[in-house]
Amino acid sequence: MDRVALRGLKARGHHGVFQQEREEGQTFVVDLVLGLDTRSAAATDDLARTVHYGVVAEEVVGVVEGEPVDLIETLAERIAQQCLEHEAVREVEVVVHKPEAPITVPFDDVTITITRSRV
């Protein structure tokens, strides 16, 4: 399976279990690896035979900016399901970064990584 990766998609969301997170929001960063077969697209040089990663990026930002959820696990699942709506995408790895998580000790980042595929 071939891979198309998008790294560092940034969007402001209002996700989290604390009221302050819901009210003020924070920046989330998303990395994606889309698994698909690109041979047909490469042979024909036809965008319709692959995934339009610009559209995927916009959709992922829309999910992050959309309906708030408590857990980044839920956010990652919603992003994965959106990516799998594209016919060419057979598998997706989603990493959601929450670098502004409300943690009381010094830290660099909090992430969740999930992999989902068509059944």
Just list the catalytic residues: 98
Residue type for 110, please?
V
CB 21 within 8 A of CB 102: yes
SS3 state of residue 24? helix
CB 83 within 8 A of CB 35: no
The C-alpha atoms of residue 36 and residue 58 are separated, in whole angstroms, by 19
